[in-house]
Amino acid sequence: MSWIDAQLPVLPVLLPAATAILLLLIGDHGGDDSAHGHRRLLCARRIAQGSVLLGLVLAAALVQQAAGGEIRVYLLGAWPAPYGIAIVIDRLSALMLLLTSVVAVPVLWYATGGWDARGRYFHALFQFQLMGLNGAFVTGDLFNLFVFFEVLLIASYALMLHGLGERRLRVGLHYMVLNLAASALFLVGVSLLYAQTGSLNLADLALRVARVEAPDAAIAQAAAWLLLVVFGFKAALLPLSLWLPATYAAACPPVAALFALMTKVGVYAIWRVHGVVFGADAGASAYAVEPLLLPLALGTSVLGVLGALAAHTLERLVAWLTMASVGTVLVALSLFNADAWSAGLYYMANSTLVIAGLFLLAELVAAQRGDAADRLVPASPLAQPALMGLLMLLAAASAAGLPPLPGFIGKLMLLQASSEHTWQAAIWTTVLGVGFLTMIGLARAGSIMFWHVRDDLPASTPSGTSPKLIGATLLLLATTVAMSVFAAPIQRYTAATALQLNDRAAYARAVLGAQGEATQSTRPYDGRAGGPR
């Protein structure tokens, strides 16, 4: 193994961190119209775009390595786990890194169309956001998950206000206060777990929690519930989700598109902590949150799609659909079986790409509708009705789950995985009903914007016809088509990921080494045992 290959697991965190520092040194001052300011902005754009492209290459290389089943562990400072900081790359973390990069590349390209010049240090903040996202996906330690949560949240506070405006300031303040409260609860939950088990390393926790017997397990279960509140807030799980529509709708389009990844950090954390640490082999604490997680996930989907139907702007409609998609992913997670997890991972990748693309598309359409912007009211004809209509049709069909797009494939996998569950009727009704209502909501928006036009008004300004903005949006939506073309290998990867997640013994051996082999008392998961019925 070469030196570079040995450092590969930590590079997705170091690369955006180093890029952000470099951009701060250069001085990424948006809004500076001088020649010198313009040159610095162009330099910042090139550095930032080069960094995200290199990050995409690194993520693809890690996915290729993880596909073989190897779990890569990088011990910072050579301190052995569980005492030191461990960076762990398995199939799930590699998949999330790739998804982050696939979203970041076109979103940053879109931002260079003018949004990055509307505020200071946009590119540095964008890189810090990527650092926090990537760090959360690769850390093998619960406390460092908290640290990376704070990194991405601090960056998101500033990005939320990018472009300024009273509305962003008001919503951003609420967003910050609520996240600070959730972070305080995160520390309380982490403290309870550490007091009970003496460790915060995820591999070590999975072994130690299983050995905690009742009545001592009550403390671990209380920690699990507290962490569900924290992660549920980040993921926009009902009833902790009502902050999301206003926040995402108020953010500038490239920031809202990037924020589509933030809910997935919460979902990822629930997967790692409640799906694995408190999963099937957790002894007295097994499935600690299972009785409530499934009904809350179903309720999140329903509330999200009802909010989309009631939305009066396209941006707010997309924000509500973000909630609906998160609910569907959490339904798959809450079934606690390998087939459902595979379906959830596949659907999560597609829904993230579609939602991010819809946020960008919403601004393109709004820019061609004059004063009406993205409000769902009749307005002047669009400058490019055919192109915008085709993009809207593609995004709507995938979001609603119409064949042969990946939204349909992911939902079909989920329905098959839930065929023997006691909640089968509720799951099928919700998944199919939410898909149908999503189609209705997007069809309503499309009909108003593209068909109910006012012919007495001239075609609007061509400000939303920039090839760069259209190209970035098209690239993002085209990835959903690629997921259909390569559905078979992606499904094989997600199925293997689900099995690997449940193999706690292999994870412990990879992270803890000989100590993991000596202390692990669980059997490898064979994929046949489902969740509680």
What pLDDT sits at residue 533? Answer: 30
CA 39 to chain centre: 33
Q: Give residue for tokens 């403390």.
A: 219
Say if CB 504 and CB 525 are below 8 A apart: yes
Helix H or strand E segment including 74: strand 72-75
Query: What tokens were used for 145?
Result: 């998950």
What parts of the chain have a pLDDT lower than 50? 517-533
What pLDDT sits at residue 317? Answer: 94
What pLDDT sits at residue 32? Answer: 60
208-267, pLDDT tens digit by residue? 888 888 787 888 889 889 999 999 998 989 888 888 888 888 888 999 999 999 999 999
Say if CB 433 and CB 301 are below 8 A apart: no
Closest by CA to 531, choosing from 227, 247, 274, is: 274
Say if CB 329 and CB 351 are below 8 A apart: yes
- Distance in angstroms (rounded) separating the CA atoms of residues 111 and 139: 29
Strand partners, 453: 379
Quote the Cα angle for 504-520-78, to 5°.
80
Closest by CA to 520, choosing from 509, 532, 530, is: 509
- Distance in angstroms (rounded) separating the CA atoms of residues 204 and 190: 14
pTM: 0.91
What pLDDT sits at residue 526? Answer: 36
Q: Residue 13: how many CB atoms within 10 A of its CB?
A: 25
What pLDDT sits at residue 482? Answer: 92
User: Three-state SS for 403?
Assistant: coil
The dihedral sign for the CA sequence 386, 356, 100, 63: negative
- Distance in angstroms (rounded) separating the CA atoms of residues 187 and 278: 18
What string of DSSP letters covers 343-364? HHHHHHHHHHHHHHHHHHHHHH
- Distance in angstroms (rounded) separating the CA atoms of residues 357 and 360: 5
What pLDDT sits at residue 403? Answer: 86
361-374, pLDDT tens digit by residue? 998 888 887 777 77
The dihedral sign for the CA sequence 149, 150, 155, 157: positive
- Distance in angstroms (rounded) separating the CA atoms of residues 76 and 70: 19
Query: What tokens were used for 42?
Result: 């162009």
